[in-house]
Every structure is written in C-alpha cells, then in structure tokens.
Amino acid sequence: MTLTAKDFKSDLKPIWCPGCGDFGVVQAMYRALAAIGRPPHEIAFVSGIGCSSRIPGYTTAYGFNSVHGRALPIAQGIKLARPQLLVLAAGGDGDGFSIGGGHVPHAIRRNMDITYVVMDNQIYGLTKGQLSPTSPRGLQTVTSVGGSLEQPINPLLYVLAYGAGFVAQGTPADMAGLTAVIEEAIRYPGFAFVNVQSPCVTYGQENQQIKAHREQMKTLASLGHDATNMAAALARAQHYGSELYTGVFYKNPQPPQTFEAQARERQTQLGPSARPRDRILDMFRQQ
C-alpha cells in the first residue's frame, strides 16, 4: 500500500498563529511518515503541553496529549508494552528541557526506539512569552524585563553528552531537509533526537524567523561533516545559538541493542520460572 502525506493528516484544523514554524514541522512529519510507509494505526504519537504539543491531534495516528514535560516516560511505556508500534514524542524547548528535562537523559540511556522531536523557539509561546530554557542571555521577556541573566541550555550538546545515538537539527525554512532528518531519525534503530528551530511569530525574536533562517542556515553535508564522528558532532554543536547548522550531527554507526529488545529477551529467559499472574501476591503473603 502506497501512503501519502494526506493519509496522516486529521480533520482537526491547526490553530497556531499564522506563520508559526510548527505548520512546517507537522507537514514535514506527514511527508516523513509517508516515506516510512507504516499505516497510521501502527504509529503512536505522544506529546506534552505547549503549542507544539498539539501535533498528535493533527495526525491520524494514535495520539496522546499528556501533561507538561511527561511525553517521554509515556512514550517509553507505550514502546515497552507494544514494541511493534512506531512511537514518536513531540514537544517544545520548555516542555522538554525545563519541567521535562529530567526525563531526557534516562530516555537516552535506556535507548528505546523512540523518535523525539523538539520544536525549539527559545520562548514559552503558549503561555504568553516567558523566558524558556533555551532563551539567549540578555533576552527581554515578560519574566525577564531587564534581560535574562541565565546561560541557555544547548539542546544539541545536552543530548550528545548523555550519549544519544542519533542527533539532528532542522528548520521549516528548509522543508526538504527537515523531512529528510525526521525520516532518518525514525529509521534509526534506537533513541533519536531532532531539534527543530521552529520560529514563534508572536513572541519570538526577529533573527529567529523563517526568512532569517533561510539566510543563516548551513547544511552540515555542505561542510563535509562526518556524522559518525562524535568529536566532530560535539564541536559543531558548540555553535548552537550563533550558527544554524542543519542536518545530522551524529549517527552511531553501530547502534546498541534497544531496551525493549533486551526486555523481551529477559522476559523469555525468566518466563518458564515466573509465577502465574494469579499467584503473584502469594510471595508477599508468605513473608
């Protein structure tokens, strides 16, 4: 069966601000999923809270709009319970690196086959323009009227340092490139992270809009970047905030076994000696 982007588009109309970068992100996701070829009923999409977290409702896949910052643990639970599903998680920079920041390193170290797409606009858009974890130092917002005093999180260095096997970045200013990195992330057999510079047209900075991205972006492929070289990936990632590099920063050429595969092996190994479900509580009653 040949699938098209339209097969993944739900009847729910997006309500983002006109010009929001998230329109481009969801379109890139439709195209990437069509290229993958898995039907919508074999895909689970989980999100947290925020403008970007509306995405599951705009797809025909199974969708779960969870609480703020908790997309990753729920996505991991789905993948462990139903490993045959293609599982994606989505959120914003605040959702992923503020309240949900503690879940990221554990999702990486478990290495479950999940694709995590973060729409990074350096601001809290849904709640009216507060400072976010990736906002640049000096940025004036409703919660930093004198300019931010904080050093911003670097999402690319963050996930690379924790050992993510696939790390990429894209922008809706380059739809073909964004679609390509999302598709490659989904195909990677393990935890994959895609940081999308997705402009907020209402509260975002002028130098972070689509037009500016087109002028600023540099594809890693054009620079001869070796995506199998972790040191090279770390060096490029250091320039987050000053250079807009797009493409795959790092892709582990020898992906380790996923957590869910190991769990199934352990289940098979211990299955013959396991207590029947109706006798599990007996071990506690005997103490």
Give the C-alpha separation, 218 to 205, whole Å. Answer: 20
User: Domain holding 113: CATH number?
Assistant: 3.40.50.970
Please say whether the beta carbons of 126 and 49 come within 8 A.
Answer: yes
pLDDT, tens digit (0-9, with 9 covering 90-100), for 153-171: 999 999 999 999 999 999 9
Whether pLDDT at 269 is above 60: yes
Q: For residue 208, what pLDDT is reported?
A: 85
Of 141, 185, 142, the residue nearest 165 (C-alpha): 185
Q: For residue 287, what pLDDT is reported?
A: 57
Mean pLDDT of 59-82: 95
- Which two tokens mark 169? 């970045």
| The model's pTM | 0.94
Give the pLDDT band (50/70/90) at residue 108: very high
Residue 9 DSSP symbol: B
91's enclosing H/E stretch is: strand 86-92
| Domain interval for residue 181 | 5-285
Mean pLDDT of 126-134: 90
- Which two tokens mark 52? 């970007």
Q: How many domains does the chain have?
A: 1
Strand extents, DSSP E, the chain? 43-47, 62-65, 86-92, 114-120, 166-170, 192-197, 218-219, 245-251
Give the C-alpha separation, 83 to 112, whole Å. Answer: 9
pLDDT, tens digit (0-9, with 9 covering 90-100), for 172-217: 999 999 999 999 999 999 999 999 999 999 998 888 899 999 999 9
Q: For residue 55, what pLDDT is reported?
A: 93
